[in-house]
Structure 1
Amino acid sequence: MKVFKLPDLGEGLPDATVREWLVREGDSVAADQALVTVETAKALVEVPSPYSGTVEKLYVAEGETLQTGQPLVGFTEPASGQASDKTREKTPEKSKSSGEDSGTVVGKIESGSVALAPEQRPMSTRSRNATPAVRALARQLGVDLSRLHPAGSRFSEAEVRAAAGGHPPPAREAAPAATREPAPAPATSAEPARRAMALAMSRSRDLVCPMTLCDEVDISDWPKGTSTTLRLLRAIAHAAASEPNLNAHFDNDTLAPQTPVNIGLAVDAPRGLFVPVLKDIAGHSDGELLDTIARFKQQADEGGIPQSDLQGATIHLSNFGSIIGRFATPVVLPPLVCIVGAGRSHKAVLPHKGKARVRKLLPLSLTADHRAVTGGELARFLKALKEHLES
């Protein structure tokens, strides 16, 4: 039996929790076919099969956690006298005795009574128009997505709950250990996200030498309905062009400014803190950025942000003021160098053009890793940020 072990998923965590098996024991699978959905580092990730074969054993039940490098799936070994996919020749070999094609298998075939047909990729009937989290919810509520059509390109959590009609899921018989589905447990489902947050904060505490600088921006002249988040994204990209060392990675005592500006946007969700990344801010229109932010918020609520959208940040933004609070001490997560925090806007009486006026102010709190940048660099970055927001 060939054993496929849980690979390193590149999220910096030593383990993963199995959320949904996409195959069962005895199924035939093709190389790169999704085997299982696991949760790690706040993302639901589909793990593909490294090769074709027949599933002989599932080592872990849904809801259980395993370490990276531990057995995940066992595959049946190729039958004696047959070679694996990787040892087949691409050109046919002629039989010495009959002159006919003996097949595309390396080595001597003792019996010619069995014809070798080309391998057929197994057909998958699993719905691909829903995220792993939404498929899991549909399974819990007894909703068959194959009989429905989403309003958009993918089903949303609201559509699944509406299809369930508010009725509890039907009772099911006990399943084998490797294929049974766990009972809904909100506290358990949030555990990987909070564990990831704890590990990230511990790493920041141990590595970063933080310095925080605060100021307020006069945003009284902003047009009504202006998106604060969008203005902040544009201002950060502008300030990064002025002070590129703040849009950088600091790793192994080496400061490496990054291009383009990829902003990790902190998103608060019931299951924990998610930080999806808006890639290449300058290369996207305002509408595209707003659409992406809306998608991230929906995915965070459903717990299905793709792994690729959680990677590649060069600077972070936390708009905590959308809830409450004016100033904070945002936490830098290495290898990043800087995080921008925006507080709750408020009104204050200030001198303006020689008179006392009521002005609207937006508090800003910036933290940088003092190992990598100077206080002057942080101050100039904040100055450029403030000037762009007030323009």
Structure 2
Amino acid sequence: MDNDNTSRTQATSRKRHGNRRGARRTVAAAAALLLAALGTAPALAQQPAGAIGTAVVSSAHAAGARGTLLGVTPVSDLDRADVVRFLAPTGMDTGTVRHGLRGYRLTYRTVTPQGAPTTATGLLVLPKGGPHRLDLVSDTHGTMAHRDYAPSVGEDFGRIAPYLHASAGRAVAAPDYLGLGKGPGRHPYMDTRSAVTASVDMLRAARTAAGRLGRPLTGDVYASGFSQGGQVAMALGRALDGGADRHFRLRALAPVSGPYDIEHAETPALFDGGINDISGVFYLSYYLTAQNRLHPIYRDPAEAFRQPYADIVEGLFDGEHTEEEIIPALPATVKELLTDDFYRRLQHPTGGLLAAARAQDGNCAWRPGAPVRLYTSAGDTDVVIANARNCAADLAARGTRAPVIDQGATDHTGTYLTSGPQIVRWFDALAARR
């Protein structure tokens, strides 16, 4: 899930139209340097004039190996002042911005929710400065309906966290997830399992690319993410702590406003006023249509959605519609969106509806070997604070104390904008104690 949709529609519009400026300064010369570094410079001569160079990278791994790096495309080149200017419209504290950065779109191999081979893309950001060998931040983003809003493609909200962390002196791997960015197919929204496989494979691709770009990684991973990405970060942390890849060690986990408990916190808030109507309708429509491709929730959209929405709702979430287009096409309330029968079912879920929720829940039921902080806010009406409190209780029941850091009355977007610099400073402090 993502930032309050009323504020996000305004914020993304401002940044989308205001940030395609001199801050993105990748030019043919930068592409040539990248291609030369990867040993593929001769391919540059075959590219059309003015194109951003894409390095197609061979791999010693088997052709279908998860995490195999397939391509590297430069997408941004910012000096320190550019980063400050990029972040300034958010009102975020930029005191942690110490370096400029370079961003690259990585294309890599991963798997679908069913385990079939596919490809995905993600954003790798490297600081201009800092140590030669870099620690890595995994940053997992919040809800995005249009594929071009993903971090490796759109220079707007999805790049705030990657740029913030990279400018502090760490590498950042920010997966687009399946079906977003330049990946094929539709995004399996809120399918935590496939988001984790895509995130782990993005780490592997980032390790290869960073090494070939002359900035090898230490193997230490600091995991964070916002909203939908907060849930993914928690599950990714669990996977890394459990040995998902021997090259990576989880050092800290700092998710922000994750929907960790869909069954007992997020879904009830749709009915008790905890979630604002605009966000509730948007998220629920996206969630039901995506999860129905993975779980037997309904056989026909008309079983769940009232007309005329039943005829259009699945098409709205095809990856080609923006939130600015989707929200006005849907009704004002969840009650108006759903049939009476399905509205009642959602309050007492069974079958595929319950299976879908439980497939995402439970990712706080483990004992991390690294410190955890849960960032949230009482004023969040997109992902209610009960999610973080329930997560902390699950962790505590297994012997881990994870502080719930409540940012107060701020909204969903504001929760991240306040928390992000705090997380950077916490990661700094932990790294200094190693």
TM class by shorter chain equals under 0.3
Greater helix fraction, Structure 1 or Structure 2: 2
Normalised to the residue count of structure 1, the TM-score between the two structures is: 0.27
**Considering only CA atoms, is the larger Rg found in Structure 1 or Structure 2?**
1
Q: Higher strand share goes to which structure?
A: 1
